[in-house]
């Protein structure tokens, strides 16, 4: 594919491309592989053990995620583990639990895969430091994994999708369309220029005094609402391409709410339901229209077994899921959505992405560092978002 | 030091963006801008414009709501773009490294009430509010540190 020759993730050690390593790789394809994955780039601390049998069958032996119990409803969201210290305290226990649940010991581990970015630097660093220590102590290879690559490769772990497949990654912090070509090769077709849709759901819940996390709360309220009562904007639909914008939707919703409060002295339950339904319809429309365009670009490449996967917390929304599923059916494209526990942050996806990259011959050394920003596709221009105004630079 | 203030009214997004850029042009490491206002007031919009006008290499400026802090390399120095909404205690701001950043970087802070007494006394506070028509905003700038008199010379509607 012209123009995508240099989209691979830059590695720290060029040695991994040496011929003897390629021979080792060929041998690896026939070995049983046990990979430890470590993830600490966001709110949660996680460790997992993954095993690939010589016939290619891959199973998650364990996947431990710590941090979700810190859900703090009064405060309105997950209390973030901002400090490296907080992750570091949990990491050791996470790894011990993951090994014990998997019924393996450290000496059974063939390689250690760790999220090396993007994310909050303190958290990422504590994971990377632990992985380096384990790698050095055990004498086993180290693989730094892009957190987003973990999400993007999950449909291969869960559904065995063949490359290349189209992917919508939509969560609280991310929203992008990718063509996934290989463990290290991604083409971004477009993404949000401001807020991610998960964030828009959370903020809608905040604006309407609904509980957090906002995704399920807004979806539930929308069930009894009229999606056509309020004409909320569908930003960027008039612009070609797959870029999206959700920030203006939030502002429009705020104005609608204030008008209702002024006219009626407060929000009735039916108002809330109608706002939620109208908001959800707007997000769904934007994602579906842009997905249609992304699908067209992808299908132009004539993939042998066309498939579209959606991952990230937003994939749990049934309205959005049904709309994208219908779109795929219309184009005779296979549709998949990994189960939610593998769509939210976890270390099994990191172990899996690490495993694919390990088989492809990638290795990192002790110079591996935490990268707060790490785009999956380095060949495309950044989304220079500024609302309707577009590029400023 | 007495508190001084200035109110600017922006009829559309372009006008708000222009103010962000004009303010950005005068910022130096050690300057902190506290962005106040509710959801949808335009805090991130303002910060994004300001950051993008100063970036050495164009790049995405995503919302920091989930990541808490995004750090950028910009012409005058490092820029820290923070959204403290999800924090519950000023001690978490210390763990984020904000205290040091206030001295060494340009800091743009959304939901600065979470800082409590950690808020730098020399900061510029900008309160954004949506006004009558769509896209219109009122910006109230206030400060005590006299350095802002010169920093704000080029900032007007």
Buried b / exposed e across A11-34, counting CB within 10 Å, b at 16+?
A: bbbeebeeeeeeeeeeebeeeebb
Consult the annotation and say whether A317 binds a ligand: yes
0.90 exceeded by pTM: no
Q: Which of A79, A85, A389 sits opposite B17 (nearest CB)?
A: A389
Residue A56: CB atoms within 10 A of its CB come to: 8
Q: Which of A79, A192, A384 sits opposite B52 (nearest CB)?
A: A384
Helix (H) or strand (E) run with residue A47 in it = strand A45-52
Contact assignment for B68 to A203 by CB distance below 8 Å: no
Query: How many whole angstroms separate alpha carbon A60 and alpha carbon A361?
Result: 22
Q: Which of A253, A386, A388 sits opposite B49 (nearest CB)?
A: A386
Closest CA to A354 of A53, A51, A122, A21: A51
Q: Is B72 helix (H, G, I), strand (E, B) or coil?
A: strand
Which listed CATH number (3.10.20.90, 2.60.40.10, 3.40.50.300, 3.90.1570.30) goes with B4-143?
3.40.50.300
Query: How many whole angstroms separate alpha carbon B156 and alpha carbon A74?
Result: 40
Write down the pLDDT at residue A1: 38
Percent of chain A residues topping a pLDDT of 70: 84
Beta partners for residue A37, in sequence order: A48, A113
Closest Cα in chain B to A197 = B63
Query: How many whole angstroms separate alpha carbon B68 and alpha carbon B111?
Result: 11
Quickly state the pLDDT bin for A30 (edges 50, 70, 90).
Answer: low
Query: How many whole angstroms separate alpha carbon B87 and alpha carbon B93?
Result: 8
The answer on pLDDT for A35 being more than 50 is: yes
In sequence order, the 6+-apart residues with CB closer than 8 A to the CB of A19 are: none
* A209-240 pLDDT, tens digit each: 998 788 999 999 999 999 999 999 898 888 88
Residue A180: CB atoms within 10 A of its CB come to: 23
Domain locations in chain A?
A: 22-162+342-391, 165-341
In sequence order, the 6+-apart residues with CB closer than 8 A to the CB of B132 are: none
A189 is written with which tokens? 């077709």
> Which positions in chain A touch B52 (Cβ < 8 Å)?
384, 386, 392-393
Contact assignment for A387 to B86 by CB distance below 8 Å: no
For chain B (157 residues), the mean pLDDT of every run of 10, in chain order, is: 90 94 96 95 95 89 84 92 87 83 96 93 95 88 95 81
Task: For residue A13, give how far its alpha carbon lies from the nearest alpha carbon of chain B (Å).
Answer: 25
Fold of A165-341: Nucleotidyltransferase; domain 5 (3.30.420)
Query: How many whole angstroms separate alpha carbon A200 and alpha carbon A283?
Result: 9
Write down the pLDDT at residue A18: 40
Angle between helix A197-207 and A269-299 (nearest 10):
170
Question: Which tops the pLDDT comparison, A141 or A23?
Answer: A141
Which residues in B have their CB inside 8 Å of a CB on A?
13-14, 17, 38-40, 42, 44-45, 48-49, 52-53, 55, 58-63, 65-71, 86-88, 92, 95-97, 130, 134
> Which positions in chain B touch A203 (Cβ < 8 Å)?
39-40, 65
Which whole number is the average pLDDT over A50-72? 82
Helix (H) or strand (E) run with residue A214 in it = helix A214-222
Place of tokens 């962000």: B20
Consult the annotation and say whether A214 binds a ligand: no
The answer on pLDDT for A295 being more than 90 is: yes
> Which positions in chain B touch A392 (Cβ < 8 Å)?
17, 49, 52-53
Q: Is B141 helix (H, G, I), strand (E, B) or coil?
A: strand
Task: For residue A386, give how far its alpha carbon lies from the nearest alpha carbon of chain B (Å).
Answer: 7
CB A202 within 8 A of CB A345: no
Topology agreement, domain A22-162+342-391 and domain A165-341: yes
Write down the pLDDT at residue A20: 45
- Does the domain formed by A22-162+342-391 have CATH 3.30.420.40? yes
Distances (CA, A) of A320 to A196, A215, A325, B49, B53: 14, 12, 8, 31, 36
Write down the pLDDT at residue A89: 81
Which whole number is the average pLDDT over A371-392? 56
Domain locations in chain B?
A: 4-143
Q: Which of B49, B59, B66 sits opposite A172 (nearest CB)?
A: B66
CB A60 within 8 A of CB A50: yes
* A313-363 pLDDT, tens digit each: 899 999 999 999 999 999 999 999 999 889 888 999 999 999 999 999 999
* A101-132 pLDDT, tens digit each: 999 999 999 999 999 988 877 889 999 999 99
* A162-202 pLDDT, tens digit each: 999 999 999 888 899 999 999 999 999 999 988 899 999 99
Question: Which tops the pLDDT comparison, A81 or B57?
Answer: B57
Write down the pLDDT at residue A16: 38
Q: Which of A78, A85, A386 sits opposite B52 (nearest CB)?
A: A386
Q: Is B145 helix (H, G, I), strand (E, B) or coil?
A: coil
Helix (H) or strand (E) run with residue B43 in it = helix B43-54
């Amino acid at each position: 594919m012209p123009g995508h020759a240099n989209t691979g993730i830059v590695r720290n050690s060029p040695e991994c491309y040496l011929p003897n390593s390629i021979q080792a790789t060929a041998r690896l394809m026939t070995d049983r592989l046990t990979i430890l994955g470590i993830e600490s780039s966001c709110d949660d601390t996680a460790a997992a053990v993954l095993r690939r049998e010589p016939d290619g069958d891959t199973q998650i032996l364990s996947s431990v995620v710590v941090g979700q119990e810190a859900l703090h409803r009064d405060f309105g969201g997950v209390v973030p583990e901002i400090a490296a210290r907080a992750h570091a305290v949990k990491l050791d226990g996470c790894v011990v639990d993951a090994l014990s649940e998997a019924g393996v010991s450290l000496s059974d581990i063939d390689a250690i895969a760790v999220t090396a970015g993007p994310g909050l630097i303190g958290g990422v660093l504590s994971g990377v430091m632990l992985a380096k220590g384990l790698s050095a102590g055990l004498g086993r290879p180290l693989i730094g994994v892009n957190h987003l690559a973990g999400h993007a490769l999950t449909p291969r772990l869960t559904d065995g999708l063949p490359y290349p497949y189209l992917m919508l990654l939509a969560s609280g912090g991310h929203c992008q369309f990718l063509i996934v070509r290989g463990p290290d090769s991604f083409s971004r077709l477009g993404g949000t220029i401001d807020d991610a849709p998960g964030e828009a759901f959370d903020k809608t819940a905040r604006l309407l005094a609904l509980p957090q996390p906002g995704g399920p709360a807004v979806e539930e309220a929308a069930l009894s609402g009229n999606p056509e009562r309020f004409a909320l904007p569908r930003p960027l639909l008039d612009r070609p391409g797959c870029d999206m914008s959700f920030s203006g939707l939030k502002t429009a919703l705020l104005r609608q709410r204030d008008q209702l409060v002024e006219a009626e002295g407060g929000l009735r339950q039916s108002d809330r339901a109608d706002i939620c339904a109208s908001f959800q319809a707007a997000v769904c429309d934007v994602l579906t229209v842009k997905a249609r365009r992304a699908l067209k670009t992808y299908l132009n490449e004539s993939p042998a077994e066309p498939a579209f996967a959606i991952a990230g917390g937003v994939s749990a929304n049934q309205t959005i899921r049904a709309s994208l599923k219908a779109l795929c059916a219309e184009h005779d494209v296979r549709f998949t959505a990994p189960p939610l526990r593998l769509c939210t942050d976890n270390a099994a996806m990191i172990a899996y992405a690490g495993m694919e990259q390990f088989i492809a011959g990638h290795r990192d050394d002790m110079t591996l560092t935490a990268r707060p920003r790490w785009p999956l596709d380095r060949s495309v221009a950044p989304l220079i978002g500024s609302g309707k105004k577009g590029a400023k630079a | 030091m007495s508190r001084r203030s200035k109110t600017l009214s922006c009829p559309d997004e372009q006008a708000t963006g222009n103010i962000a850029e004009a303010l950005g042009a005068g910022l130096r490491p050690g300057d902190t801008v506290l962005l106040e206002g509710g959801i949808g007031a335009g805090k991130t919009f303002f910060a994004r414009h300001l950051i993008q006008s100063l970036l050495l290499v164009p790049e995405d400026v995503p919302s920091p709501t989930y990541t808490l802090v995004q750090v950028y390399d910009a012409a005058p120095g490092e820029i820290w773009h923070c959204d403290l909404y999800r924090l519950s205690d000023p001690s978490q701001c210390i763990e984020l490294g904000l205290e040091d950043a206030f001295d060494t970087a340009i800091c743009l802070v959304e939901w600065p009430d979470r800082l409590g007494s950690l808020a730098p006394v020399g900061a510029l506070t900008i309160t954004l509010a949506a006004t009558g028509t769509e896209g219109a905003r009122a910006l109230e700038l206030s400060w005590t540190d006299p350095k802002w008199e010169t920093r704000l010379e080029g900032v007007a509607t």
